[in-house]
Chains A and B, each alone.
Chain A
Amino acid sequence: SQKIEQNSEALNIQEGKTATLTCNYTNYSPAYLQWYRQDPGRGPVFLLLIRENEKEKRKERLKVTFDTTLKQSLFHITASQPADSATYLCALQPYGNNRLAFGKGNQVVVIP
């Protein structure tokens, strides 16, 4: 069966350090992989998208990697700040349609 796995345990990290989150998937062949941020009581907000043929994407302090051999994406927040505290969701989009399959999310807590 298809699975998208994100760590269910919250990541507690000291301010200024790099937070790294993992998204593993099985039985998917995604064309695109997206990362979203969700704050408590709010809807998800898009952060970054990476294509199947891209290895790495950056946006300001955010970096995403995509390894289709390992079936894994890594999401990095460098120089983390308390304002980065949120839940981060990965989402896979297959070829040929626009419907996303979401992971359950991974909470990040940045400690001042």
Chain B
Amino acid sequence: IAGITQAPTSQILAAGRRMTLRCTQDMRHNAMYWYRQDLGLGLRLIHYSNTAGTTGKGEVPDGYSVSRANTDDFPLTLASAVPSQTSVYFCASSDSASGSPETQYFGPGTRLLVL
């Protein structure tokens, strides 16, 4: 069982370019999340999805968009990358959308450098 996979592992991107970070889970979890992790700021939620077909904004959604066409995939798109989006991006999933204490499972991360 792979759990959560993310692609690419790392990327250098020119400012202004469009980029999609991919996330796939094979655990059939209802909920999925995108975080960014920056030194000194910790993990911050970008967008989330409680179930296929629905998405919501997290703490830092500006400049990012997501879609949830099916249970397994939750891509994150940067429409026009800016240097402040340089970060490590983590995708996560959990088996609940109802507020019960389900833990989150994280992918290995995508390291993005925007120049």
Contact = CB atoms under 8 A, between A and B. Distances in A.
Interface residues of B, number: 30
A98 B42 contact: no
Given A43-B90, A96-B99, A102 B43 contact: yes
Interface stretch (A14-22, A44-52, A65-73, A77-85): A44-52
A42 interface: yes
B65 interface: no
A2 B92 CA distance: 23
Interface in A78-100: 89, 93, 95-100
Interface of B: 4, 31, 33, 35, 40-45, 48, 50, 58, 90, 92, 94, 96-109
Interface of A: 31-32, 34, 41-46, 49, 51, 89, 93, 95-105
